[in-house]
Structure 1
Amino acid sequence: SDTFFSRGSLNASLRAAGAVCFAIDRVVAGDNKSAFCCVRPPGHHAGYNGLLKDCISCGFCIFNNVMAGAMHALETYPKSIKRVAVIDLDVHHGNGTEDIVRRVSKERPDALFFFSVHVYQPQGAGLPDNYEFYPGSGGGDDLVHNIVNAPLMPCWCHDKNRFTA
């Protein structure tokens, strides 16, 4: 895996997830009209049980900060927050977020919605050495579980001759 721990990693990860939950508390209480959390380490590759099955990497993610916040909102404020939408705009697909949404939606089918805009290029689709753009997921939707993916073609695919000798 590419996700390494140092002495401060756990504390940083807990603070990142906690910042998202704290921001939600402030907005729900009316102390703030909106909130934005810029947190590290990132989180959207961490799945329900951390590393996803059939994945070689967790994408430097320890906890899924956004999904910790989404679940905090649903569990802490069930009378005022019935549904949460997660919109993920990133070069990489949020495969961990999708995994969590899929699992939670089995018990709470209308509680979560996930929309991801990301680069998608499956293995063997034009890059040298049969490379697959990480994490290689997010090519299709799963409307049963409220998951919509908007995969984008990588800019390097427009000129495939650049990669041929």
Structure 2
Amino acid sequence: MDNTQLITILTIGLPLIGAGVGYLIKSQLEKKKELNNELSKQRREIYQNFVNLIIDIFANTKFKKNSSDQNLKQLYEFYKKYVLFASPNVIKAFSDYFQHLYDQDKKEDLKLHLSLITKIMFEMRKDIGLENKGLGENGEMLMRALITDFDKIYKK
């Protein structure tokens, strides 16, 4: 094989190899993008369920409806779904909140309790790409519309 034949083979072969590699890379990137889109869709639905649950809990409290057992059951149902789709930061925030609920020896600190709840929603918003600027360190402002004495609680 002389140099002319080698150059001809390389001239034809290298672009074909490059095109094949490019196609494989593009295919992988598209699959990853499709998976991320589906994951984002799942997260949004699951996160919306959590927000609905929290707002319902506050509404029930406001109207003196006691359904804490049902609320806890719904939180566990939420946990079953989110554990597969949530980001590590959301899982950590949710776990921190549950650890706070489990620790019955602590004196009830409403500000801490609310901060732990809002931290979950703050991380959820961050996870789906929403801006959190101006919502407080842990997203405390997310609950301001639901709590009548919010300003008193957070001035402590």
TM-score by length of structure 2 reads 0.31
If each structure's helix is expressed as a fraction of its own residues, which one has the higher value? 2
If each structure's strand is expressed as a fraction of its own residues, which one has the higher value? 1
